[in-house]
Amino acid sequence: MLLNSPTTPATSPVKKELTHFFDIMTQCQKMTVDFWQNIDAYPPACTLSPLSNYDSQLKKLPEKGIGSMQTMAWLEKECLPYFSGKLGPRFLAYVAAGITPAALVGHWLATATGQSPLPNGATTIPATMTNQTIAWLLDMFSLPKESMQGTLVASTSIGNILAMVNACEWYGEKIGLSASREGLGALPPAQVFSSSPHISLIKALGVTGIGRNALVRVKNISHREVMDLTALEHSLKHSNSPFKIVSASCGTVTTGDFDDICAIANLCNKYDAWLHVDAAFGIFASLVSKKRDLLRGLERVDSIAADGHKWLNIPFDCGFYFTKHMSLLERANYANSSYLSFDDEETSESNRGLQLSQAFRALPIFTTLQAYGKAGVASWVANNCVCAEKLATWISQSQQYRLITPVYLNIVFFQYQRADNKEVERDNEIVLQQINNSKKVFLSPGEMHGIKGIRAAFCNWRTEKSDVEIIINVLSTCSP
C-alpha cells in the first residue's frame, strides 16, 4: 500500500518556541536564581506536594502541549515550593553534596550545546578536554600519571562494576585468555575479600556474573569498619581460588573509616590479588594536609572508584574510575562499528566504560577546577572536616549524646543515650525523627556491627560553622 497522501503538517509547537527562546531561558534562569537565593527557606528534606491544582486534565498524557512558558509557570506554582533544600548547607544525610556555581555552568553548557566526547575521538574539543580533565583529577588526588589512567563514569557504582570487569580481564590475561571473549566460565571462580563493602560493590559482583556469593567477609578490627590484617592474610593464604580480588575502602559510608591501603597492598602483592579501592568521597582526603595520611598507599592499588557528585559538588551524574590496566579495560569494553567511524588506534571514552552515548561529563569538572582551582576545592573539603570535628566535640561533651566512633574525616556517627541506657534503638529512632522534623537539618540513620546510630556527613561547599551551631541547637532540644 502506498503511504497516505501527505497533508500539510501543523506548524511545529517546538519551532514556535524559537521565536521567544530568550524569554524561555530568562524565565528558567529566574527560577534557578530564585531557588538558589532562597535555599535556606526550603526544608532540607522533601515535603509532600499537595499538588492542589493537579486536576484530572493534567493526569492524562497531554494531547496538545501548553508550551515551555506555561509548563514552567505550572512547575513554579505546583512543584518548586515543595522541593527539598537538599542543595542547602544542612542536608547531611547519606553522602549528599551541593552544586557550585561553576559546576552548574559547566553542566548547563554541556547540555545546552549538546557536546559529547563521542563519537570520533581524540581530536575534538570535548575529547581533548575530557583527557585534560582526567589528567587534572590524577594530579589533584596525587595519583601517579605514569602508571594510572582514568575514565569518567556516572557514579562510583559504575566505577565498582568497571573494577570487577577489569579484574576479570586481568586474571584471564594471566592464564592466557580474555574473560570478556570467553566468558567467566573459562575462569576459576573469583573470591572477593572485603570487610565493609558498600552495597554497590555487592551489586557489582552480581551484575558482572562474578556472583554475590564470591564475597568473602573479612573480619573487621573491633569497633571499626576496616579489615583486620591478620584475618585478611589468613583468608588470602587459605583461599582455594587462584583468582583473588581485595576490595578495600577509603571512606566507608557509615563511619567514614579507612582501610590500611599500604598494608593491604603488601598482602595483595604477596598473594597475587587485584586491589580495588572504593574511595567514593574519601579520595578527597588527599586535599587536606592533616588527613592525607589516611590515603597512604593509594598510588599502589590496581583500581579506584570515586564520585564527582559527592565532595566535588558536581550535579548528577559524575564519577571517576582510575586503573593501572586501562588497555585490559578497553579490551573488555570494546565496541566499534563502521557507522561510528572511530579509529581503532584512538582511545574513546565509550570503549572504556559501559555507555556509548554519554554526556560531556568533563565540562562541569573542568569548569569547577578552572574556577576554583585545587585550593578552592580543598577549602570546602577542609571546612567540612572542621565542621564535622566541631559537631563531634559538642556531642562528646554533651550529656544526651555520645560518639559511636571517632570522626575519621567528615562523618559524625553518634547516638542518643540517656543515663539508664535502656531502649537505645527506640530512643534513636524518635530522636532522628525529631531532628528531621525540625526542618532545619536532615540526618540519616546508620548501623555498624549491630550498633544503630545517627549519621551527619559533611560534603557541601555551603556548610559553615554557623550551620553547626544551628544543628547543635536542634540536637539539644530533642528528647524521646
Ligand X SMILES: *Cc1c(COP(=O)(O)O)cnc(C)c1O
Tell me which residues touch ligand X (CB under 6 A): 95, 155-157, 198, 200, 251, 253, 278, 280-281, 307, 319
265 within 8 A of 302, measured Cβ to Cβ = no
303 within 8 A of 276, measured Cβ to Cβ = yes
227: its cell numbers: 579489615
410: its cell numbers: 567528615
Of the pair 44, 319, the CB lying nearest ligand X is at 319
Of the pair 156, 438, the CB lying nearest ligand X is at 156
Structure letter (DSSP) for residue 212: G
Smallest separation (angstroms) from ligand X to the CB of 475: 24
Of the pair 100, 156, the CB lying nearest ligand X is at 156
Structure letter (DSSP) for residue 463: -
Of the pair 126, 251, the CB lying nearest ligand X is at 251
Of the pair 115, 368, the CB lying nearest ligand X is at 368
Kindly report the backbone phi and psi dihedral angles of residue 467, in degrees, each rounded to the nearest multiple of 5, phi listed first.
-70, -35
Smallest separation (angstroms) from ligand X to the CB of 14: 34
E strand or H helix that includes residue 118: none
Structure letter (DSSP) for residue 438: T
Of the pair 431, 454, the CB lying nearest ligand X is at 454
Of the pair 198, 325, the CB lying nearest ligand X is at 198
Smallest separation (angstroms) from ligand X to the CB of 310: 6
Smallest separation (angstroms) from ligand X to the CB of 278: 5
Q: In 302-358, where does DSSP find H-type helix?
A: 326-333
Smallest separation (angstroms) from ligand X to the CB of 175: 30
Kindly report the backbone phi and psi dihedral angles of residue 306, in degrees, each rounded to the nearest multiple of 5, phi listed first.
-150, 170
Of the pair 348, 460, the CB lying nearest ligand X is at 460
Smallest separation (angstroms) from ligand X to the CB of 110: 18
Kindly report the backbone phi and psi dihedral angles of residue 455, in degrees, each rounded to the nearest multiple of 5, phi listed first.
-115, 140
DSSP calls for 3-29: PPPP-PPPPPHHHHHGGGHHHHHHHHH
Beta bridge partners of 444: 455
**Each residue of 181-205: b (16+ CB within 10 Å) or e?**
eeebeebeebbbbbbbbbebbbebb
**CA–CA distance, 326 with 330 (Å, rounded to integer):** 6
**CA–CA distance, 466 with 442 (Å, rounded to integer):** 16
Kindly report the backbone phi and psi dihedral angles of residue 448, in degrees, each rounded to the nearest multiple of 5, phi listed first.
-130, 120
Of the pair 21, 316, the CB lying nearest ligand X is at 316
Smallest separation (angstroms) from ligand X to the CB of 424: 25
243: its cell numbers: 583468582
